[in-house]
């Protein structure tokens, strides 16, 4: 039996990157998955590839920054699959324009806070009542190593991901009696298409790049800090499954030690 057999999962941003990988892994483990994605071409392509692999996934066009869109997507999920057990708040990311507090353009604030923090809030707002109706379940939020370690000059993204950690712990506390576990993952550098396009070759071997110098990291000390989307999707699988039934309010650094030493 699959590790998520019988569960229904709502994955935001599953048109690419970590959540796309999770869509494949979750369905292989028996879950029915909703691909809640802003870009229809990406969402449809993910649905098709999961279905070709024998999984059950449905793309629902969703903008996690818009309350009406999130509300409608959760309602469609329940209408389609009958319930909701797992919410994976994965849509997010930083933009190249993000900088230090004193330099960053204010337009970055609204974009980043909306995508990374408001999106997590809105999906939880409409997802939690459905998970309660299902008798409990799991929420997985995406934070980042940037929120665990000061030396990253993307200050708005850092603040948003710090907010995700605080919200994770607050929700874990509040919804434990409803049998909902809420945990967060803080990845290091994950080689998604977005990251590869943004940092090019330096994402794969960042030892001598400006990026490395900017974040004040001596990369050779962190041989485990760079990973593939499935490395994080597998952590999400564990948190979604009943194997992690003792974990709630946990902030898991999947960063190859970058926040530890
Ligand atoms: N990749 C990394 O190195 C890394 C490191 C730390 C944390 N994270 C976090 O992991 C999560 C996933 O990152 P990724 O690299 O896989 O991202 P990605 O850019 O590969 O995928 C994000 C997906 O979200 C979709 N999306 C964007 N705006 C949306 C919206 N408003 N509503 C719905 N979907 C939307 C995009 O179209 C895209 O398909 C993010 O929260 C990111 O902050 C990533």
pLDDT tens-digit series, residues 168-214: 999 999 999 999 999 999 999 999 999 888 876 666 666 556 666 77
Question: Which one, of 218, 124, 209, lies nearest residue 172 by Cα?
Answer: 124
CA angle 212, 214, 220 (to 5 degrees): 25
Name the residue of 92, 141, 204, 212 to mutate for ligand 1: max ligand atoms within 8 A of Cβ.
Answer: 92
Joined tokens for residue 217: 């990291």
Quick check: is 157 catalytic? yes
| CA 1 – ligand 1 centroid, Å | 30
Determine the pLDDT at residue 162: 98
Joined tokens for residue 74: 């959760």
Q: Which numbered atom of ligand 1 lies nearest the CA of 66? A: 31
| CA 93 – ligand 1 centroid, Å | 5
Tell me the C-alpha distance between 58 and 31, whole Å.
Answer: 12
Given the residues 88, 126, 157, 222, the one annotated as active site: 157
Determine the pLDDT at residue 207: 55
Q: Which numbered atom of ligand 1 lies nearest the CA of 185? A: 7
Question: Which one, of 253, 239, 250, 64, lies nearest residue 144 by Cα?
Answer: 253
pTM: 0.97
Tell me the C-alpha distance between 18 and 122, whole Å.
Answer: 20
Tell me the C-alpha distance between 175 and 60, whole Å.
Answer: 26
Joined tokens for residue 6: 């019988």
CATH superfamily of 8-193+228-252: NAD(P)-binding Rossmann-like Domain (3.40.50.720)
Chain position carrying tokens 């590790």: 3
pLDDT (tens digit per residue) in 91-113: 999 999 999 999 999 999 999 99
**Residue 136 near residue 92 (C-beta atoms within 8 A):** no
pLDDT (tens digit per residue) in 142-174: 999 999 998 889 999 999 999 999 999 999 999
3 state DSSP class of 105: coil
Residue closest via CA to ligand 1's atom 20 equals 17
φ/ψ of residue 143, rounded to 5: -105, -145
Determine the pLDDT at residue 209: 62
Q: CA torsion angle for 161, 23, 188, 246 (degrees, to 10)?
A: 70
Average pLDDT score over the chain: 95
Q: Which residues line ligand 1 (CB under 6 A)?
A: 12-13, 15-18, 37-39, 42, 62-65, 90-93, 115, 142, 144, 187, 189-190, 192-195
Question: Which one, of 200, 234, 201, 204, lies nearest residue 219 by Cα?
Answer: 204
pLDDT (tens digit per residue) in 58-83: 999 999 999 999 999 999 999 999 99
Q: Which numbered atom of ligand 1 lies nearest the CA of 145? A: 6
Determine the pLDDT at residue 201: 65
| CA 98 – ligand 1 centroid, Å | 15
Determine the pLDDT at residue 75: 99
DSSP 8-state class, residue 136: -
Name the residue of 44, 89, 91 to mutate for ligand 1: max ligand atoms within 8 A of Cβ.
Answer: 91
pLDDT (tens digit per residue) in 34-53: 999 999 999 999 999 999 99
Name the residue of 13, 144, 157 to mutate for ligand 1: max ligand atoms within 8 A of Cβ.
Answer: 13
Domain boundaries defined on the chain: 8-193+228-252
pLDDT classification of 89: cutoffs 50, 70, 90: very high
End-to-end C-alpha distance for the chain, whole angstroms: 39
């Amino acid at each position: 039996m699959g590790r998520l057999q019988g569960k229904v999962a709502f994955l935001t941003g599953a048109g690419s990157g970590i959540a796309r990988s999770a869509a494949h892994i979750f369905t292989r483990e028996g879950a029915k998955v909703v691909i809640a994605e802003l870009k229809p071409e990406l969402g449809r392509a993910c649905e098709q590839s999961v279905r070709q692999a024998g999984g059950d996934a449905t793309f629902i066009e969703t903008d996690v920054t818009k309350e009406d869109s999130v509300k409608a997507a959760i309602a469609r999920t329940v209408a389609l699959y009958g319930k909701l057990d797992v919410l994976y708040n994965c849509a997010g990311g930083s933009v190249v324009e993000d900088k230090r507090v004193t330099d960053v353009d204010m337009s970055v604030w609204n974009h980043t806070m909306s995508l990374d923090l408001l999106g997590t809030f809105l999906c939880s707002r409409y997802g939690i009542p459905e998970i309660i109706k299902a008798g409990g379940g799991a929420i997985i939020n995406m934070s980042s190593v940037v929120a665990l370690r000061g030396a990253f000059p993307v200050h708005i993204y850092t603040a948003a991901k710090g907010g995700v950690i605080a919200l994770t712990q607050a929700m874990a506390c509040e919804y434990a009696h409803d049998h909902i576990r809420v945990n967060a993952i803080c990845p290091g550098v994950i080689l998604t298409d977005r990251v590869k396009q943004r940092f090019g070759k330096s994402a794969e071997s960042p030892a001598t790049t400006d990026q490395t110098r900017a974040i004040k990291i001596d990369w050779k000390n962190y041989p485990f800090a760079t990973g593939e989307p499935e490395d994080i999707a597998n952590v999400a699988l564990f948190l979604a499954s009943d194997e992690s039934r003792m974990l709630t309010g946990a902030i898991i650094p999947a960063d190859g030690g970058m926040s530890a030493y």
